[in-house]
Structure 1
């Protein structure tokens, strides 16, 4: 087993090395420039669209409201990465890693926008009458038959990744946190999670979306409020904390306390990697949920979708990071969830640890719900609708296994699969960028003239790819 784990770690190191990190940032920068910084310019308008998207309107096609689609995506995105992932980035790369997480998010907004636009534009209706989409569909329908292998590769990697990072790892995080804080056995946590998950996922995307639309805003606001209390109690330390983050991003971090020190490259590497892990921009997971949204135009859903990266990293992750840096816990030598717990307990003695545990439990549980839908859609693409019921049963069986298991190999395998998901998705985003830019331009022009934007799909030509 140790040999397999070492082998997987080597592969993960290659996949998540400089080339992948440069590709994630590079695609984001390229799309941001090509879109003329639309994600940044249209963020206020995107929040308006999100508010309107709470209810469906005449002429909109899809299975769930635009608001519910974003909440479903956020349910899978806001997870252990927002608590343990941020702490790990700071432990390995120093406070400067937070700056590079911000950069990943700012340019990742364009990536998330592009994914959702293409997901809605090239989505299909399956045999059960449900709207399905995502990278496998915009590769197949946008790039044509000769790229079918790339669509199959994404769906395969997505199916496998879902059971790791979206299920067993999350179940173990919940069980471990609850046992540490409340001495509740892992098997009992696993059983309760299985029952609660079954109630939701057996109802399909409509029930998942309904639960996400109710639970995600509550959990996010609760966690942000807890972190905000700690920050406000020592608000005078905020400027110094921000200064340390920015300075460390370009000068590295010297060894101090229990911190071993980190160079600029370490800050950049772990900041970008953990940022991508947290907000999933470029991985191709979120557009699977966005494809089910009731919307009048792909561009509108793209604007709503990009808010996921804004909320996940620029808001939730930043709150965690500020608490860790402001309390001085970052140089304690602790790592992961233990570092976040120490920071919150330092800032709010007696209560801080409960905020972290509550956040971990609810964030991880909603991640299980969101990723169940992602994996199901990937499996359906490979095997058809007949796989849906067996997939859901396998998903439920994996939860108690994850809760009670030792997951070092699963963590490594999930890391590899996540990286492999990103490769075909990023390649497709680059190849389909001419269509993306054209659709966006047409929408903006039609919005100015007051006409209804064209919704029909189109396939990018080989000439456009070569050019």
Structure 2
């Protein structure tokens, strides 16, 4: 196991300390400029169109796809998970408060990236095995003709199957177990069995059951968590300005906030900010386009605009989580003023830090509140990530292997609840990073087409008005 940890650490160091920070942010910046700040220009329309068909009981999904809102909440189910609660805490501990600033930057440029992903997914969707299907594998294959396109598309499909369906869902079940272990005395295996069993039941229901569950769970879980976080911040309102101070100053001068003894530099803040940002909003990763591909819309860019709301939703949850933790005083008390800077890492890991923050105002009820929220967040993510992985199983092997894949995912959901959190997160980071590469290569190659579709979209809106 030690050898595996070292190998994963080396891979993550290369991917996240250098390559992907430049590649992700660079692609997001390029698309932002090329599309003339699409995330700003289309923001209001994105909100209106995303929620105009909002319903807890919408039209049932079928072989022709699902509604635009159902596609959005399915993608948000994948985006708003442990990366927003546990991942934000991990970023704060590992990269300092400045990591949150880079999370925000990642989200802003990520909105242009996810607009492009969703638009391309709509453009290249197709019918296969009697139902609508789509995702990055299809537009990557179209971007690079011949053998190269087939290889890149196949690599992406393999990476996402491993990254989300296997490693990613292990992270989700691991965090569910950790959250409940901190609030109620229960055996890990029991939590793992319950999580895996309910997941398997939903997987068997196919796209219809997945859409039905996510359109109900996602809005409820969002309102629940945001309400709790806002109430907490009202109690701590006098500490919020200092929390923002720590975020902005630490982003560019970590020593001014946390002291030189921690060894947290700007690169480390960026590294954990961008890594956790990707894991939180998934922009550029190539996961959410699978949901947006099957939305029933009139123009590809319509769903591209709607997709930006998914990233914005993660921005809200991340900001609230970071402000709760920073205003709670836990980091100052347990890290910044101690001679042993690693104590926080040994005391609180991932979701436990978020729980301890809520505990400072709500007591044990705060610990249980986060456990319940994380159950909703992580469970909805498990559903969405299974769906994303299944679309690529269909791409590679067809319909027959899909059920076998479902069984494998259920097994790994159970296994994930028993592993140590550091290795699970590290593996997730590694496979997430690998799937980014072919996806962004496909987007960049098709950027002229994205620009052309966006111009056509402007004409389409004028006609509609």
TM over 0.5: yes
TM-score normalized with structure 2 length: 0.91
Provide the residue aligned with 1:78 in structure 2. 80
User: How far apart, in 1, do the equivalents of 2:283 and 2:144 lie?
Assistant: 21
2:211 to 205, 209, 212: 209
Aligned ranges 1:49-88 → 2 under 5 Å = 49-54=49-54, 62-88=64-90
Q: Is the 8 A contact 2:88 2:276 kept in 1?
A: yes
User: How far apart, in 2, do the equivalents of 1:116 and 1:4 lie?
Assistant: 35
Q: Is the 8 A contact 1:163 1:395 kept in 2?
A: yes
Provide the residue aligned with 2:391 in structure 1. 377
Q: Is the 8 A contact 2:17 2:268 kept in 1?
A: no
2:275 to 269, 273, 282: 273
User: How far apart, in 1, do the equivalents of 2:216 and 2:124 lie?
Assistant: 29
User: How far apart, in 2, do the equivalents of 1:270 and 1:370 lie?
Assistant: 24
Shift of 1:254: 4.3
Shift in alpha-carbon separation, 1:167–1:23, aligned structure 2, 3 A: same
Provide the residue aligned with 1:336 in structure 2. 350
Provide the residue aligned with 1:22 in structure 2. 22
Q: Is the 8 A contact 1:132 1:288 kept in 2?
A: yes
1:115 to 83, 96, 117: 117
Provide the residue aligned with 2:338 in structure 1. none
TM-score normalized with structure 1 length: 0.91
Q: Is the 8 A contact 1:323 1:347 kept in 2?
A: no
Shift of 1:448: 1.4
Q: Deviations over 1:329-350 (max 9, x none)?
A: 2232334222212211113334
2:170 to 145, 168, 171: 168
Aligned ranges 1:351-366 → 2 under 5 Å = 351-366=365-380
SS at 1:207's partner residue? helix
User: How far apart, in 1, do the equivalents of 2:255 and 2:309 lie?
Assistant: 31
Shift of 1:234: 2.2
Provide the residue aligned with 2:248 in structure 1. 246
Shift of 1:150: 0.6
Q: Work out the number of aligned pairs and report it.
A: 447
Q: Is the 8 A contact 2:180 2:368 kept in 1?
A: no
SS at 1:16's partner residue? helix
Provide the residue aligned with 2:34 in structure 1. 34
Provide the residue aligned with 1:457 in structure 2. none
1:386 to 383, 400, 403: 400
Unaligned runs of 5+ in 2: 336-343
User: How far apart, in 2, do the equivalents of 1:125 and 1:350 lie?
Assistant: 51
Shift of 1:179: 2.6
Shift of 1:257: 9.4
Shift of 1:144: 2.7
Q: Is the 8 A contact 1:164 1:411 kept in 2?
A: no
User: How far apart, in 2, do the equivalents of 1:449 and 1:363 lie?
Assistant: 39
Deviates more, 1:175-184 or 1:38-47: 175-184
Provide the residue aligned with 1:322 in structure 2. 323
Deviates more, 1:39-48 or 1:111-120: 39-48
Provide the residue aligned with 1:435 in structure 2. 449
Shift in alpha-carbon separation, 1:264–1:142, aligned structure 2, 3 A: closer
SS at 1:26's partner residue? helix
Provide the residue aligned with 2:459 in structure 1. 445
Aligned ranges 1:255-274 → 2 under 5 Å = 256=258, 260=262, 262-274=264-276
Shift in alpha-carbon separation, 1:326–1:409, aligned structure 2, 3 A: closer
Provide the residue aligned with 1:97 in structure 2. 99
Shift of 1:409: 4.6
Q: Deviations over 1:68-117 (max 9, x none)?
A: 11111111111111111111111122211111111110110000110000
Q: Is the 8 A contact 1:254 1:261 kept in 2?
A: no
Shift in alpha-carbon separation, 1:180–1:326, aligned structure 2, 3 A: closer
Deviates more, 1:148-157 or 1:1-10: 1-10
Q: Is the 8 A contact 1:76 1:166 kept in 2?
A: no
Shift of 1:248: 1.6
Shift of 1:241: 1.9
Please tell me the root mean square deviation across aligned C-alpha atoms, in Å: 2.1
